Amino acid sequence: MSIALEHVSYVYSPGTAYEKQALKDVSFEIEQGQFVGIIGHTGSGKSTLIQHLNGLVKATSGKILYEGQNIYDAGYDMRKLRGQVGLVFQYPEYQLFEVDVLTDVCFGPKNQGLPQEECEKNAREALELVGFPEKYYRHSPFELSGGQKRRAAIAGVLAMKPKVLILDEPTAGLDPKGRDEILDQVQKLHRETGMTVILVSHSMEDVARYVERIIVMNHGEKMYDGTPREVFRHYRELEKVGLAAPQVTYVMHDLREKGFPVSPDATTIGEAADEIMKCFEYRTGESQ
Amino acid sequence: MGMIHAEELVYEYDKRDDEGNIIGTERAIDGVNIDVPQGSFVAILGHNGSGKSTLAKHMNAILIPSGGTMWVDGRDTKDPEELWNVRQTAGMVFQNPDNQIIGTVVEEDVGFGPENLGVPTDEIWKRVEDSLRAVGMLERRKDSPNKLSGGQKQRVAIAGVLAMEPKCLVLDEPTAMLDPNGRKEVIQAVQQLRKAKNVTVILITHYMEEVIDADQVFVMDGGHIVMHGTPREIFSRVDELKSYRMDVPQVTMLAEELRRRGLDLPGGILRREELVEALCRLR
């Protein structure tokens, strides 16, 4: 149960003046149940990459194996794949269109050919999973706040019961609390359902806080692939390609330069605080 | 009176049902007082729907107050005679660079504003060059905007506004759609502008790190100004900020966490260097 890419390359508009290689020989495997972050600067190939994962874009060369089967095989059921690998685009709320939230969320399962009753059951479960308040189920999606619209849109994908959920910058344009709420909800969903979650993000702090593995894309190639600690260790190289490490990682490096025996690997506030407190523990011990 | 000055500003709009009948009024801005001195850098924070963009739209008369008064460089925005002067004084940059660029070549896009104002051709070219240089995009002047990154497009959008020589630049979430590098480029370009041209800057943002260098910070909630002070004052009130759905820079949060765990650090630490220095002193 996994998604694997084997030597995937993708060329836009081949043979024209606009020819551009968007992906170059990308290979990796994501096991069922992982929480993976994909980072990279604008134009690094992140969005092209995720559109390959549910067959929206077909690789120019290479293979994509979903549960061991090549999705480019003749007769492969693409429709089923799209039901299992759910893709939430950037600003998904622009895709809301129905008269009320519940009907909108029912649209996916209805398209899958499920009976009305089951559609509504799945829709309700999906809305519950994203923490969408029941009192707004019958409201027009256009009357909702930015954060609620985003939840409704994510629920629209979840209602198709995917095994893999891909989110392309789900927090863009939200206020800080809204960002935390959406990501906390995604984390909860990941824990409760065991769904594979792939998060594309521009926030290094968010990625460090939530995911267990980071894939870094640069100019269409996979640059790094590892735990947040492993990846952010390369903060100087990341800066060169328009990325960065979380702020606290820089604090740790600065402290080491000043002679503090802290590990430079901390990527979250909690980890950084633990490391710094170790240097002061004898001190607080004395004062008590 | 400063460059931007609002007294008891109110903005109301009609709420309508599906048939377009008015079913009530909504108050997006409710009694706001604000003063932004010439040449200063002011940041406005607030959650989605707090009224900050509505306030910004009053600063170049896209919206006219329902109550109270907004003055831009001493001109009342309610006065129809002053409309074009107000718009020339305060230039706006919005969130999505793709919605703001119209030219097929970078320099053409930047020249569009002054051309519309009837500026003589020689002068337009001079302004285009100056503005592109000010945002660090001069070497891309002959390129198609399609080929630029988000941060570069946004800098071209800023240059387009600069070419109209506004005294005041109002930026409404200019970095919301950009990657970390793009955000850095835009904020650095704005900082340099302030130094080089003494332009008044009003920045609306959801990124706490971007407001550290502001002279004043206003926090909005429910159409009101609920907090006002220097970044240090604002960011030392962590719990209050969080109650308005805001956050503090990650470094400030780390310092808070260390304080909670018993380290004797000062409140309102904003920058990496400050935290490192404070920790060195403690050792």
Question: Which two three-digit tokens encode residue A131?
Answer: 């923490």
B172 has pLDDT over 70: yes
Query: What's the pLDDT at A288?
Result: 43
Q: Is A284 on the interface with B (CB under 8 A)?
A: yes
Mean pLDDT of the residues in chain A: 91
Task: Characterize the bridge pairing of strands B67-72 and B75-76.
Answer: antiparallel
Query: What's the pLDDT at A68?
Result: 93
Q: Is A115 on the interface with B (CB under 8 A)?
A: no
How do the domains of chain A map onto residue ranges? 246-288
Strands of the A35-39 sheet, one edge to the other: A85-88, A164-168, A196-200, A35-39, A213-218, A221-226
Contact yes or no for B48 and A145 at CB 8 A = yes
pLDDT tier at A287 (50, 70, 90 boundaries)?
Answer: very low
Shortest distance between the Cα of B166 and any Cα of chain A, in A, equals 27
- In angstroms, rounded to a whole number, what is the distance separating the alpha carbons of residues B173 and B190? 13
Question: Lowest mean pLDDT: which of A35-39, A283-287, B258-262?
Answer: A283-287
Question: Which two three-digit tokens encode residue B97?
Answer: 């660079």
Task: Give per-residue pLDDT as tens, B175-194.
Answer: 887 888 888 888 988 888 88
Task: Give per-residue pLDDT as tens, B115-168.
Answer: 988 999 999 999 999 999 888 899 999 999 988 888 889 899 999 999 999 999
Q: Is B206 on the interface with A (CB under 8 A)?
A: yes
Task: Give per-residue pLDDT as tens, A241-284.
Answer: 888 899 999 999 999 999 999 998 999 999 999 999 999 876 55
Query: What's the pLDDT at B260?
Result: 93
Contact yes or no for A260 and B149 at CB 8 A = no
Query: What's the pLDDT at A284?
Result: 55
A71 has pLDDT over 60: yes
Q: Which CATH architecture has domain B40-61+75-230?
A: 3-Layer(aba) Sandwich (3.40)
Q: Give the mean pLDDT of A42-67.
A: 92
State percent of chain A over pLDDT 70.
97
Tell me which chain A residues have a C-beta less than 8 angstroms from the C-beta of B261: 273, 277
Query: What's the pLDDT at A283?
Result: 58
So what's the ipTM on this one? 0.81
B17 has pLDDT over 80: no
Contact yes or no for B279 and A244 at CB 8 A = no
Tell me which chain B residues have a C-beta less than 8 angstroms from the C-beta of A170: none
How do the domains of chain B map onto residue ranges? 40-61+75-230
Q: Is A57 on the interface with B (CB under 8 A)?
A: no
Helices and strands: H and E segment counts in chain B? 10, 10
Q: Is B181 on the interface with A (CB under 8 A)?
A: yes
Point out the residue among A176, A260, A284 whose CB comes nearest to the CB of B206: A176
B216 touches B2 (CB < 8 A):
no
Bridge partners (DSSP) of residue A9 are: A61
Contact yes or no for A251 and B209 at CB 8 A = no
Provide DSSP, A25-74: EEEEEEETT-EEEEE--TTSSHHHHHHHHTTSS--SEEEEEETTEETTST
3-state secondary structure of A276: helix
Task: Give per-residue pLDDT as tens, B50-96.
Answer: 999 999 999 999 999 999 999 999 999 999 999 999 999 999 998 88
Question: Lowest mean pLDDT: which of A16-20, B139-143, B233-237, B244-248?
Answer: A16-20
Query: What's the pLDDT at A1?
Result: 65
Nearest CA in chain A to B261: A277
Q: Which of A89, A260, A269 to mutate to test the interface with B (most CBs of B within 10 A)?
A: A269
Task: Give per-residue pLDDT as tens, A128-151.
Answer: 988 899 999 999 998 888 888 999
3-state secondary structure of B57: helix
- In angstroms, rounded to a whole number, what is the distance separating the alpha carbons of residues A147 and B25? 23
Spatial CA neighbour of B109 closest among B120, B118, B96, B98: B98
Q: Is A219 on the interface with B (CB under 8 A)?
A: no
A232 touches A204 (CB < 8 A):
yes
